[in-house]
Amino acid sequence: MIKKTQQIQGGYCVTVSIFKKEKIMQSIYQATVLSTGGRDGRSVSNDEKLNVALSTPKELGGLGGEGTNPEQLFAAGYSACFIGALKFVAQQKKVKLPADLSVNATVGIGHNPQGIGFAISTDLTVFLPGLSTQAANELIEEAHLVCPYSNATRGNINVTTQVTV
């Protein structure tokens, strides 16, 4: 176990315990976002390219304001990242992807079936018009192996994938 202490805004220190796996990944790129106010606050990236108001949906007891929410942000990140993974795999296999390729991600939140807290689930619908079902399924299967979101969620949340060709 590695203990890491880090300085954060406002002068507070947080000690994080990290359980070391066999190999430590070396980051190629890092994104940093500061969130304040929780689900009814604001999130701003350090380069200010992301600057969003957050609102708790009515279904979760909030006012359902104009802002986005963590589930929408996760869905946007996963769907965009999965398209990147599909493009990477297709390039490796020399498969031409349709120009109108898209991925629809639906992220659900509910009570954790293990009994404590909350959990999320994700449904991905991949649109690959013009490809055979077999070719599309092979690309999707391999994309799940290289997609960082798929790797991060594997074994942690339920992820279902559907394909439309």
Residue 33's DSSP bridge partners are: 45
- Torsion angles phi and psi, residue 119, rounded to 5: -140, 160
Range of the domain at 34: 2-60
Residue of 164, 156, 161, 43 lying closest to 105 (CA atoms): 161
- Number of domains composing the chain: 2
- Helices 133-146 and 70-93 pack at an angle, to 10 degrees, of 110
For the chain, give the number of residues. 165
Q: What is the pLDDT of residue 15?
A: 55
Residue of 149, 150, 120, 125 lying closest to 136 (CA atoms): 125
Q: What is the pLDDT of residue 23?
A: 81
65 assigned to some structural domain:
no
Collapsing DSSP states into helix, strand and coil, what is residue 51? Answer: strand
Query: What CA–CA distance (Å, rounded) separates 146 from 81?
Result: 10
Query: What CA–CA distance (Å, rounded) separates 47 from 63?
Result: 29
Same structural domain for residues 80 and 160? yes
Q: What is the pLDDT of residue 10?
A: 53
Same structural domain for residues 120 and 153? yes
pLDDT in tens, the chain (165 residues): 455 545 555 555 555 555 656 788 899 999 999 999 999 999 999 999 999 999 999 999 999 999 999 999 999 999 999 999 999 999 999 999 999 999 999 999 999 998 899 999 999 999 999 999 999 999 999 999 999 999 999 999 999 999 999
- Pick the last residue of a domain from 22, 40, 60: 60
Same structural domain for residues 124 and 146? yes
CATH number, residue 28: 2.20.25.10
CATH number, residue 93: 3.30.300.20
Q: What is the pLDDT of residue 90?
A: 99
Specify the pTM. Answer: 0.86
